Structure 1
Amino acid sequence: MATKARKAMVLGGCGAQGSFATRDMVRRSVFDEIVIADLDLEAADKLARALDSPKVSTRRVDILDRKALLASLRDADLVMNCTGPYYLLGPKVVDAAIEAGKNYIDFCDDIAAHEQIIEKDEQAREKGITVLVGLGVSPGIAPLMVMHAASQMDEVRDVSFPQMIHEREPEGPAVIYHMAANFFGKIPVIRGGKRVYLEAFEEEEEVDFGPPLGKAKVAPFGHPEIFTLPRVLPGIQNLTIKIGSYPVETYEALKFLAQAGLAGTEPLEVKGRGIVPRDFLISLLMSGRHEEERKQDYTSSMVVEVKGKKGGKTITVKYNFNGLMGPNTGIPCSVGAEWIVQGKIAKKGVVFPEECIDPKPFVDEVLRRVGEISPITVKETVSVSRDWIG
């Protein structure tokens, strides 16, 4: 019996991170048809020409045009949403996917979008579809590493994953606006088992990311794992996500500009015009990005550290993760899309990676695929300690 042809609609599939998901899906045999859908049809066509595959087609889609969005999903088996900002576009695409009865996946890392989308769980379950939210590197790979560490423990107490983003990562404006909103505002963390909020740059610390980046400063960063990890690990007492920028001079410059008021969102009058300081700051950051600087002779980094108990002893599992944001974000989403249509991710409703994915085989597959196209290293360190008396 012939296998049913599978079609994926990839919204924003020609973007800085979505293009890696698209490329990976084209290289595999799970999807027979891949539609790169974007408001910028010229950009979608450019990627399609580069891929030069009979499986690939393009389509102009305006997500804010609900009728057109629904029409684009009509004959798809799965919709992958790589657009942003997620707080604006994520819930709209999820609503359309639910109405159309189509499985959905994204790498959404926006807290506000997560909070809106989780409210749609019952609707998704009634439709019998999977709405998998947040399958990139963080959220995505990072909480799956936490779950793998947790499988080696009787209880998990403390979790942290500081991240270091190299300034030469090819991030679009939606990513930078998202980072600004979650770096400069009130930042959620878990302390003593309860959610509390920190100010920008509060609890700043220096973290050793190991070679090649070494030690660098990071500060708390608002991310959805603060909400999703306690759903599956309710005993967590302390949970913090922090972020910094490499080289360290970039981080210090951002901190200075923010403290000088350029992270604000209230318009200021400048020569008779209303200028939003944050808009100016982000435009300034974007203007300094040039294609010729984006050679892959750099890396970003993340440390995932999990502390807990095993047999009465304190155990710490630590992962040092080096790689590039594009493939490390896009390829997990590609693998997740395949696993949904193959039935390896079977849970229905609105779900998060740590709730529905077997961590070890999934992360292994992602690392294998990323390693085919980009440098990546992951080191696991496990240490055990116990009291001298007892």
Structure 2
Amino acid sequence: MRMVVIGGAGDMGSVAVEYLAKQPECREIIVADYDYQKAAQLQSHLGNNRIAIKECDVTNRTSLAEAIAGATVVLNFAGPFYRLAHYVIEAVIESGISYVDICDDYDATRKILEYDDDAKKAGTTILTGMGASPGITNIYARMGANLLDQAEEIHTAWATEGGEGSAVLFHLLHSSAGKIPGYRDGAYQDINPMHDDGALTVDFPAPLGEVTFYDIGHPEPITIPRFINGVKTVTNKGAMGSLKTVRSIVQAELWREEPVKVGNHLISPNDFTVSFLQQNPHLLNPGGSTGLGALYVSVQGNKNGENLKYEFISISSASMGEGTSLPAAVASVLLGLGKIKQPGVIAPECLNPSIVLRQLAKNPVPEGQVNSGLIIRLTRENGEIDVISPGKPMTIPAAK
């Protein structure tokens, strides 16, 4: 297989390139990046003769076409997706190439879904949002739906702590801007992000403990009602070490992109906010850090006339790059091998969960990394709780 990784020299893409380079089925991996020097450094660092590099500007039609020529699968990490995804998707559909991305922008996801008919006519698969959230959260949602006769309410959530790079911060501001899409009572609705009325508190196993999540703009409420029939409510909620700071930014509308005049200069509020936070990292995690991130999904519905709630939990100290990029890289290999066959635009909840999770489990957990495995809890109608899967013991390594 010839795999083309757009944005492959970045923090996310480089993790995928390293994974693909270890897969014998991937005979050639093209790192297609706007930053040619950074791509060359990655190539040198990995020292794998199956890795080639190509300078690529996704907004340049010729440059993009040359980069993806002959690809089995194109894996796209070039963001922000609400600005750039359409360039790549139009190019792969025109070339008849299948595609995977980690798009976590709800507005970009809506736009990507509009390419469904074109992708089907071209016989290509466009798999969008195949990261952690969206991505693994959608996989858990599908697992829960499969365990019920009818899933009615699905809540997806993610938690991270501090250390956010500029791309993540820009995404965070974008996904908290103004009204965001939600899906409630069988209809799409505009809701307010980061408000107390949408809060969800979850009691995680130690050492994470109690975490409160708030609504944020994400693709899960866009795609899950489309692909999991009959569900009435779908949400996505986030929690982070910088939550208090982010909520203050949202209330002050410092997510706005329109420049304002400051003295003789025009400055975008969101550009200022991201720069200020990066220069004052204590604001990103004022309460200290456990170094842990988590995913949580609850799926409520009925089975044989009984109301049940399944909860899916995973906790890890993996970097955001690992947690987000590896699912996409795994899916790109499965797609290239023909184990994902659906044409058109699809989301992770369209996949067979066991195939994806089994393939992910083959990737060894680095020594010293905290990883809970998958914890599954079932709450019955009478309040009784069964632990279906206990996960793995977790120990936080002692600080050196």
With the length of structure 1 as denominator, give the TM-score of the two structures: 0.90
Partner-residue secondary structure (3-state), 1:161:
strand
Q: Which 5+ residue runs of structure 1 have no aligned equivalent?
A: 1-5
Matched with 1:371 is 365
Aligned residue runs from structure 1 range 88-167, under 5 A: 88-167=83-162
CA separation of 1:35 and 1:253: change in aligned 2, threshold 3 A: same
Deviations 1:317-349 (A, max 9, x none): 111211232212111111111111111001112
Partner-residue secondary structure (3-state), 1:189:
strand
Candidates 239, 243, 246, aligned match of 1:244: 239
Matched with 2:256 is 264
Matched with 1:232 is 227
Matched to 1:318, the amino acid is E
Matched with 1:3 is none
- CA distance in 2 between partners of 1:257 and 1:386 (Å): 42
Identity of aligned residues (%): 29
Deviations 1:14-44 (A, max 9, x none): 2222221111111111111001111111211
Does structure 1 residue 319 correspond to structure 2 residue 312?
yes
Judge conservation of contact 2:2–2:73 (CA < 8 Å) in 1. yes
Judge conservation of contact 1:34–1:56 (CA < 8 Å) in 2. yes
Distance apart, 1:280 and its partner CA: 0.7
Q: Which moved more, 1:379-388 or 1:16-25?
A: 379-388
Matched with 1:273 is 265
Cα RMSD after superposing both structures: 2.2
Deviations 1:217-240 (A, max 9, x none): 322111111111112223222211
Matched with 1:385 is 381
Matched with 2:387 is none
- CA distance in 1 between partners of 2:312 and 2:49 (Å): 40
Judge conservation of contact 2:102–2:324 (CA < 8 Å) in 1. yes
Distance apart, 1:66 and its partner CA: 0.6
Aligned residue runs from structure 1 range 353-368, under 5 A: 353-355=348-350, 357-368=351-362
Deviations 1:124-166 (A, max 9, x none): 2222221111111111111111111111111111111221111
Q: How many aligned residue pairs are there?
A: 373
Partner-residue secondary structure (3-state), 1:266:
coil
Matched to 2:272, the amino acid is F
- CA distance in 1 between partners of 2:205 and 2:259 (Å): 41
Q: Which moved more, 1:365-374 or 1:30-39?
A: 365-374
Matched with 1:29 is 24
Partner-residue secondary structure (3-state), 2:115:
helix
Judge conservation of contact 1:16–1:172 (CA < 8 Å) in 2. no
Distance apart, 1:65 and its partner CA: 0.9
Q: Which moved more, 1:29-38 or 1:261-270?
A: 261-270
Candidates 280, 283, 287, aligned match of 2:279: 287
Matched with 2:246 is 254
Matched to 2:357, the amino acid is V
Does structure 1 residue 44 correspond to structure 2 residue 39?
yes
- CA distance in 2 between partners of 1:123 and 1:175 (Å): 30
Matched to 2:151, the amino acid is V
Partner-residue secondary structure (3-state), 1:371:
coil
- CA distance in 1 between partners of 2:204 and 2:11 (Å): 25
Partner-residue secondary structure (3-state), 2:175:
helix
Q: Which moved more, 1:147-156 or 1:315-324?
A: 315-324
Partner-residue secondary structure (3-state), 2:380:
strand
Q: Which moved more, 1:87-96 or 1:99-108?
A: 99-108
> Quick check: which one's helix share is greater?
1
Judge conservation of contact 2:106–2:219 (CA < 8 Å) in 1. yes
Judge conservation of contact 1:209–1:303 (CA < 8 Å) in 2. no
Q: Which moved more, 1:180-189 or 1:87-96?
A: 180-189
Distance apart, 1:76 and its partner CA: 1.8
Distance apart, 1:380 and its partner CA: 1.0
CA separation of 1:129 and 1:263: change in aligned 2, threshold 3 A: closer
CA separation of 1:288 and 1:213: change in aligned 2, threshold 3 A: farther
Partner-residue secondary structure (3-state), 1:70:
helix
Matched to 2:297, the amino acid is V
Judge conservation of contact 1:328–1:370 (CA < 8 Å) in 2. no
Q: Which moved more, 1:377-386 or 1:101-110?
A: 377-386
Deviations 1:112-134 (A, max 9, x none): 22222222222222222211111
Deviations 1:175-226 (A, max 9, x none): 3212211123212112211111112322253433333332233221111111
Does structure 1 residue 342 correspond to structure 2 residue 343?
no
- CA distance in 2 between partners of 1:196 and 1:111 (Å): 13
Matched to 2:107, the amino acid is A
- CA distance in 1 between partners of 2:92 and 2:252 (Å): 43
Does structure 1 residue 200 correspond to structure 2 residue 193?
yes
Judge conservation of contact 2:193–2:217 (CA < 8 Å) in 1. no
With the length of structure 2 as denominator, give the TM-score of the two structures: 0.87
Judge conservation of contact 1:155–1:309 (CA < 8 Å) in 2. yes
